[in-house]
Chains A and B, each alone.
Chain A
Amino acid sequence: MRYLPLTDADRSAMLEKIGAPDVDALFVDVPEEARLDGPIHGLPMHASEMAVEKHMRRLSKKNLAAADAAFFLGAGAYKHHVPASVDHIIQRGEFLTAYTPYQPEIAQGTLQMLFEFQSQVAHLYGCAVANASMYDGSTACWEAVAMASRIARGKKRKVVLSGALHPHYAEVVKTMAKFTDDEIAHAKPAMQAEPDSAGLMARIDEDTSCVVVQYPDILGRVTDLQPIAEAAHDKGALLIVVNTEPVALGAIKSPGEMGADIVVGEGQSIGVGLQFGGPYLGLFAVRDPKHVRMMPGRLCGETQDAEGKRGYVLTLSTREQHIRREKATSNICTNSGLCALAFSVHMTLLGEKGLRQLAAENHRLACLAADKLAEVPGVSVLNGSFFNEFTIRLGTDARAIVRRLAKDNVLAGVSLGRLFPQHEELSDGLIVAVTETTTEEDIETLVSALKEVLA
């Protein structure tokens, strides 16, 4: 019980001050029949640091770490190198163990960082304003849909989802919409070289509050969004663009530049690490500042102190749950502050020059991998365009191939069968992601492993 500083003598002295005979007297409001008197069933007694570490290490070793495999998984979570300084800084106690910056005079470190983070995200997305982060990309996507409904004041009920949106993101939106009055029009996913923009645009009508597309999309394809933005705006709908790989935006046009109204995404690639799915970093930005007061989540703003010095505070909190209760713009009361810090530190280390170099290296290696894989008998590369992720067809169920290769420490990618279990026709598809951490040797390993199993 090394984390509990009170001694028994302290406890006695404190009980005396309180005027209670024993500690159970402080639990007098707990109904007697519900009180637990014995030890908690099954849970062992306290354990030493060494013993706990040993137990957890044993569990950790039952997993195959990405660094110990030839690794090609993406589909919303990417393996990038994170500079050592990033983890060092986020472990500084003043960042790690601080609370929400409710007292700005003694939270300028967190607040200035959030202001810098918001500015970085706004630049990256080509938007005017970004918030101080959300839970993750998928929940940010739902919040964007909810925000579009708020802007439409309930007069437009149709949400058009691209079939090439990450299926988990689409599921989150559909789940939440079951409990609102939003109607979801979700195009069927299809495996073709170019996404079906015309089909998507045909679904937009006067009742549409928003259109949600992914860029690059779940199959890795990169499409010009301007025609979709125009089609949406013609009908008075907002275009929501989802990005799951922020590194791509060091190489391709920003969503804001192409007319997106709300841009949301997953920031995990920059600074955060894979972590089996969380905690991740939801990014959220709007192109037009007039939408700021409709945004969910925290915002940090610049102001002055009583001496005229520049400083930062959380602002526009009149939208928030603790003030507006049932009328709040959303129920969320936290962000991913520490993940935002990791993102911001990594992005500062990269700078524009480094981000562009990183993006170029990702693309170069992905092109190389696509070309090598195209030469494997039985494999065809689907994409006409891509950044660092593309889809190949194997002519057989990719789930089985992935499981087979994993036995040899080759993590070949994310099978479409795993992502879209209800679409059997997609099951020979495999999404392959390549980053700067992929070596040419890794690519050779994947190529020869596929040659062997497909022969």
Chain B
Amino acid sequence: MSAPNQSGWKPGSPVQDHNAMSGPDTVTGNRALMLEEPLIFEIGTTETTGVDLPEAKGGANRLGGLDRNETIGLPGLSEPETVRHYTRLSRQNYAIDLGLFPLGSCTMKHNPRLNEKVARMPGFADVHPLQPVDTVRGALEVINELAFWLIDLTAMHGVAMSPKAGAHGELCGILCIRAALEARGDARKVILVPESAHGTNPATAAFAGYEIEDIPANSDGRVDLDALKSRLGPDVAGVMITNPSTLGLFERDLKAISDAVHEVGGFVYCDGANFNAIVGKVRPGDLGVDAMHINLHKTFSTPHGGGGPGSGPVVLSEALSPFAPLPYTARTKDGIVHLVEEEDADAFSEEHFDGVMQSFGRMTAFHGQMGMFTRALTYILSHGADGLRQVAEDAVLNANYILRSLEDVLDAPFGHSGPCMHEALFSDKGFAEDISTLDLAKALIDEGYHPMTMYFPLVVHGAMLVEPTETESKAALDQFITALRSVAERARAGDESLKTAPHYAPRRRLDETLAARKPVLAWEEPSPPGGTPTMSEQGGR
């Protein structure tokens, strides 16, 4: 347990010379400020702890005779070692705090630290979800105030705050649609999903028990209105449409689509993942949308934390609002914010919703992502009406600047059809035959950038989605454009070194096939010499 580097790479053995720049070997495996770090299981012990707690002493025991006597196997580190372990790990991550993070349809923008400070105020961070409501009036006001602005910014009627992420919000919206249809005795079976929709959309509709049918895009990359109209009928529960779409385009015909869907008795779900491109410029409710989730981390800057948590409130039209999941909060005529849960839902709806509340149930324990609500509200108030509008304008301006600055070296499949919205879409057309989108992406890492979204959307071969967002300066964009231009030129020229990129990252290309073929998903004691089968071959510990 004392070796400084247990990464599996033997210190002292010569490095395979993939790259002349890799330099001489080091004994530790470290390279100056780039440090190798073993697993906690290799450096910690079950007898080490970094906290001061009373020694466990005998006494009352009411554990029902189920004491855990066997060793659990959890490694501990002292406090200094813990801080150092995670600080070293952190340095192997790219993050928006380090540089431009152009992931299309993911929206990685600046995360203001005021939001973090507010979320940690004791009145928000240190309150229990089941405290008596009189002791959490301020928390309810935050939910209500945020709910108010979300409804206002989208021209909708109600909002379900509890969904825990964007995809959870999609499910919430689809379940509202299903509940509304069932309430009128209408058992429809089909949800139409355009090709340009997020991959979660069809998965969500399938999870809610619907059959999925694809709707093609036209040559401009928009939903083919005629194809959609010809498919509409009494079996169609609704359509799920992403606007702006994952092709970076605004669905010009959304209002016409909504009208057509409503005419046959269906509902329109809008995936609001890319709302930051239109906030303050156009309100989805005015385009006939019935339900739309809002990814708070995308539009309202809550940090993504290496993959979550997210938060996905769903705004609802008047027709769908009565079906929203519990719990919800609402301000009544007396100005008091009420938390409505199972116990008072009926009484509350009788008094305030003319008795039409027909909630489809509960999607999660407690009230949703309170810690994200405080951050999002802080952001909305910081930007205000003028700032939010500027957010959309700058996000769109930055994306178009990227599109027009690179379309001479990168194919832009829908560049002909006018401006893009939040993101610019490129493809691998024009690359040398053996160079892929992946190679270009990995070469961008060596230039100090996180790559753009790759191979998505699925409808474009070798797709690349670049989303700069509104929090990048022109200077930052110009430098990125220079880097991407150079890599694109190398891809066109067939530069073989792209195929072994990245050369300067903490790891060279990782073998994803090996990881899937022989899954190692938890740490195990190293095998004695001669080797024993992996965990999956053994059939469990």
Contacts and interface: CB of A to CB of B under 8 A. Distances in A.
Contacts of B286: 34
Interface stretch (B261-269, B304-312, B488-496): B304-312
A305 B510 contact: yes
Interface residues of B, number: 214
Contacts of B89: 108-109, 112-113
Nearest to B471: A3
B8 A309 contact: yes
Contacts of B280: 36, 40
B51 A349 contact: yes
B207 A330 contact: yes
B519 A315 contact: yes
A97 B96 contact: yes
B313 interface: no
Interface stretch (B349-357, B429-437, B499-507): B499-507
B171 A252 contact: no
Contacts of B123: 59-65
B274 interface: no
A353 to B, nearest CB: 5
B157 interface: no
B79 interface: yes
Contacts of A294: none
Interface stretch (A129-137, A155-163, A231-239): A129-137
Interface in B90-116: 90-98, 101, 103, 106, 108, 110-112, 114, 116
Interface stretch (A204-212, A384-392, A438-446, A447-455): A384-392
Given A251-B67, A303-B512, A4 B391 contact: yes
A276 B8 CA distance: 43
B2 interface: no
B16 A106 contact: no
A64 B127 contact: yes
A145 interface: no
Given A63-B139, A109-B89, A313-B515, A19 B404 contact: yes
Nearest to A85: B83
A393 interface: no
Contacts of B65: 224
B55 A357 contact: yes
A171 B209 CA distance: 19
A388 to B, nearest CB: 11
A325 interface: yes
Contacts of A351: 44-50, 74-77
B139 A276 contact: yes
Contacts of A190: none
Contacts of A406: 131-132, 134-135
Contacts of A280: 366
Interface in B360-391: 360-372, 374, 377-378, 380-391
B189 interface: no
A65 B421 CA distance: 43
Contacts, number: 747
A302 to B, nearest CB: 4
Task: Say what secondary structure dominates the interface of chain B.
Answer: loop
Interface string B152-189: 11000000000011111011000100100000000000
A354 B445 contact: no
A119 B522 contact: yes
A20 B515 CA distance: 48
A56 interface: yes
Nearest to B41: A119
Given A98-B93, A135-B164, A139-B164, A4 B307 contact: no
Contacts of B134: 403, 406
Given A103-B445, A367-B62, A406-B135, A1 B387 contact: yes
A188 interface: no
Contact of A304 (B8, B56, B170, B175): B8
B505 A348 contact: no
A35 B400 CA distance: 20
Given A6-B394, A79-B128, A115-B523, A331 B175 contact: no
A224 B64 CA distance: 8
A55 B384 CA distance: 14
Contacts of B521: 115, 118, 129-130, 292, 299-302, 315
A60 B124 contact: yes
A270 B197 CA distance: 37
Given A275-B371, A352-B71, A414 B522 contact: no
B295 to A, nearest CB: 9
B366 A77 contact: yes
Contact of B390 (A1, A92, A113, A303): A1
Contacts of A61: 123, 138
Contacts of B178: 179
Contacts of A4: 387, 390-391, 394, 470-471
B40 interface: yes
Interface in A71-108: 71, 73, 75-77, 79, 83, 85, 87-108
Contacts of B249: 29
Contacts of A28: 418-419
B21 interface: no
Interface in B197-232: 199-200, 202-209, 212
A90 B303 CA distance: 11
A69 B106 CA distance: 41
Nearest to A169: B365
Contact of A45 (B175, B363, B386, B509): B386
A301 B523 CA distance: 10
Contacts of A112: 37, 39, 89, 92
Given A96-B95, A309-B7, A45 B110 contact: no
Interface string A221-237: 11110000000000000
Nearest to B120: A87
B511 interface: yes
Contacts of B101: 99
B67 A338 contact: no
B27 interface: no
Contacts of A250: 68, 72
A43 B401 contact: no
B510 A106 contact: no
B461 interface: no
A269 interface: no
B338 interface: no
Contacts of A62: 123, 137-139, 141
Interface string B9-47: 100000110100000000000000000010111001111
A14 B7 CA distance: 47
B142 interface: yes
A335 interface: yes
Nearest to B278: A30
B396 A64 contact: no
A159 B274 CA distance: 38
A65 B429 CA distance: 58
A380 interface: no
Contacts of A15: 397
A426 interface: no
B126 to A, nearest CB: 4
B397 A26 contact: yes
Interface string A116-155: 1011101110001110110111110000000000000000
17 contacts: A6-B394, A36-B281, A36-B282, A47-B384, A73-B128, A90-B305, A123-B74, A222-B66, A224-B65, A252-B64, A253-B67, A279-B369, A307-B9, A315-B515, A331-B171, A350-B51, A436-B53
Q: Which 3 A-B pairs have the closest CB atoms?
A: A351-B76, A338-B305, A277-B366
Given A180-B209, A222-B63, A351-B75, 13 more contacts: A4-B390, A23-B397, A87-B120, A93-B96, A99-B450, A110-B307, A116-B40, A275-B124, A278-B370, A310-B8, A326-B203, A333-B166, A417-B343
